Amino acid sequence: MNAYLFLRYPKMKVYIETLGCQMNRLDSELLVTLLQNRSHEIITARKSADVILYNTCSIRQHAEDKIYSRLGMDAKRKADGKEIIVGVLGCMVQREGVDLARRYSAVDILCSPGQLHKLPDMIDQATAADGLVTSFDPSRTQKHSHETKEQIARDAEAMDVVDASRDPEVMCETSQGFVRIMRGCDNFCTYCIVPFVRGPERSRRPEAITAEVRKLVDSGRSEITLIGQTVNSYKHKNGEATTRFSELLAMLAPIEGLRRLRFVTSHPVDFTADILQVMRDFSNICPYIHVPAQSGSGKILKAMNRGYTLQQYDDLITAARETIPNVVIVSDFIVGFPGETEQDHEASKDLIRRSEFKNSFIFKYSPRPGTISAKKLDDDVPEEVKKRRNNELLTVQKEVALKHHQQYVGQTVEVLVTGLSKRSRKQAPSSGPDGTVQLMGRTTGDHIVIFDAPAALTGKYVNVEITDANDLNLFGELCKTR
Ligand code: SAH
Ligand code: SF4
Ligand code: F3S
């Protein structure tokens, strides 16, 4: 590095807090490499930081409120004379724009999700002079001009370079690695902010994805998860040639050393039969699908603009179980969407029961400014009713999950050991007479397995005989022969 620049922009201690989905977590991981390349130090003690970065999420009000409260605290610390640079990154920045900094005086940097490659320069700028430093993605509500489209493509390319050049060792605590295959979303579900904050759908070049998976696998990450907002709608066009998601999977699965290949999150509409067939044909593609249903009521699905009928969703679940008999299916639900009646709510319970999901993520509807449902529909389900429905769906899902997990008792499953169990992490791990501690790991179906074994097995694949189960975990004994 140029010595003058080095003096001018000193090494900083940077603290990053990340909210939201896998996309944000990966972005933060990429930022670590970018910032370390500029000689900044990433620290975990927020109090000692020179630069505080929030990688934010707008999916529900609750996620945004958390950041507002942090920004309030930072403003106090700054008023008390603490010299810190505060950067807000990600989806909230794109949703709120410069208003965010007008309302929260602590903010020095605003950086949208597609602009993160510029962040190291933005930190330098904020260090050199007072004043707000910003970089926004083009607004989704505008009709995109030719130049805007080109800018979006250029930004995606720049981020692609960042993705591809990341250090595979960064934050590599386990053998797991995440690879982005597409960005943005064009579905415009009526409740959802994502298409507005993450921009239009763009799929990465298959060669870039393959190279990145290879690099991660070569560095020891043997389980790769492909990520995207609707990962299975991946489609890359190059002249006449089109690569579909199933073809991408078939290209990646044979990579030497890739022991497990997964992907999240899938949209039911794009879950075509060819994807199920490829999953069946390659033994290292995990028999696990996360296909959010959102509701079990056809009327609500329509109001949500989900693009499928209840029958089509049921057909997908049937096809998945027929093609891949050991498939594990996970879903998301929103309770209290505008106009949701008790009958609609009962229909969601029925869907959970008949689909036998391993797990469902259940959320209370949160109107997001600018979305179609927030503009056109009354948030007419009272908060107490949303809470009750949330609890009721959780109870039904728990019953279903318990039955799901119990079917593994007596079976031997392959587990990737991810580290100490929660209990071992809380208490100082007391090792048994033969040096064993309580460990946890994941099956190919993403079940959590708890068992006693030496901590040195972390990152390894072992066989575990399942002896017990509850609605969240499997419990078992390490098999002696691996
Ligand atoms: N792209 C994924 C979902 C991303 S958001 C997909 O389409 O499957 C993750 C989940 O948050 C969604 O599946 C939905 O259940 C929930 N969600 C999205 N917007 C919401 C809102 N406005 N209120 C409550 N939950 C919401
Ligand atoms: Fe949001 Fe729907 Fe896109 Fe998922 S598919 S990110 S829920 S708009
Ligand atoms: Fe949240 Fe943005 Fe992800 S809104 S869920 S962090 S794409």
- State residue 1's pLDDT score: 42
Tell me the residue type at 204: R
Distance CA 202, CA 417 (A): 34
Ligand 2 neighbour 189 (Cβ under 6 A): yes
Closest ligand 1 atom, residue 367 Cα = 22
Question: Nearest 5°: phi and psi at 306?
Answer: -80, -20
CA of 187 to the centre of ligand 2 (A): 6
Six-digit token pair at 383? Answer: 């908060």
Q: What pLDDT sits at residue 8?
A: 58
Q: Ligand 3 centroid to 91 CA: how many Å?
A: 6
Beta bridge partners of 290: 330
Residue at token pair 């997908």: 316
Ligand 2 closest atom vs CA 267: 5
Query: Tell me, what's the pLDDT at 5?
Result: 47
Cβ of 278 below 6 Å from ligand 3:
no
Tell me the CA–centroid distance for residue 107 and ligand 3, in Å: 20
At residue 153, the pLDDT reads: 81
Ligand 2 pocket test target in 91, 95, 187 with most atoms within 8 Å of CB: 187
For the Cβ of 125 lying below 6 angstroms from any atom of ligand 2, the answer is: no
Residues with Cβ < 8 Å from 213, sequence gap 6 or more?
179, 224, 252, 255, 258
Three-class DSSP category at 74? helix
Phi, psi (deg, nearest 5) at residue 186: -110, 10
134: nearest Cα among 114, 151, 109, 115: 109
Q: What are the backbone dihedrals phi and psi of residue 126, each rounded to the nearest 5 degrees, phi first? A: -65, -30
Tell whether ligand 3 has an atom less than 6 A from the beta carbon of residue 227.
no
Q: How far is the CA of 115 from the centre of ligand 3 (A)?
A: 15
CB-ligand 2 contact for 192 (6 Å cutoff): yes
> Could you count the other beta carbons within 10 Å of the beta carbon of residue 152?
19
Tokens 């869907």 sit on residue: 351
Residue 192 Cα to ligand 1 midpoint, Å, equals: 6
> Is the CB of residue 364 less than 8 Å from the CB of residue 333?
no
Q: Is the CB of 20 under 6 A from ligand 3?
A: yes
What distance in angstroms lies between residue 153's CA and the mean position of ligand 2's atoms?
21
Residue 399's pLDDT is what? 98
Q: Which of 220, 226, 260, 229 is nearest to 246 (CA)?
A: 226
What domains can be seen in the chain, in order of their start residue? 3-137 (3.40.50.12160), 148-405 (3.80.30.20), 412-478 (2.40.50)
Kindly report the protein residue whose alpha carbon is nearest to atom 1 of ligand 2: 192
Q: Is 329 in the pocket of ligand 1 (CB under 6 A)?
A: no
Per-residue pLDDT of the chain (482 residues; tens, 9 = 90+): 444 444 556 789 999 999 999 999 999 999 999 999 999 999 999 999 999 999 999 999 999 999 999 999 999 999 999 999 999 999 999 999 999 999 999 999 999 999 999 999 999 999 998 899 999 999 886 567 777 888 888 888 888 888 877 887 776 667 899 999 999 999 999 999 999 999 999 999 999 999 999 999 999 999 999 999 999 999 999 999 999 999 999 999 999 999 999 999 999 999 999 999 999 999 999 999 999 999 999 999 999 999 999 999 999 999 999 999 999 999 999 999 999 999 999 999 999 999 999 999 999 999 999 999 999 999 999 999 999 999 999 999 999 999 999 999 999 999 999 999 988 887 765 666 677 899 999 999 999 999 999 999 999 999 999 999 999 999 999 998 65
The preferred substitution site among 16, 58, 111, 334 for testing ligand 3, maximizing ligand atoms within 8 Å of CB, is 58
Q: Is the CB of 195 under 6 A from ligand 2?
A: yes
pLDDT value, residue 173: 65
Contacts of 440 (CB under 8 A, 6+ apart): 417, 418, 419, 420, 421, 422, 448, 449, 450, 451
* Chain centroid, CA 15 distance in Å: 20
Q: Is the CB of 57 under 6 A from ligand 1?
A: no
Give residue 430's pLDDT: 64
Ligand minimally distant from the alpha carbon of residue 57: 3
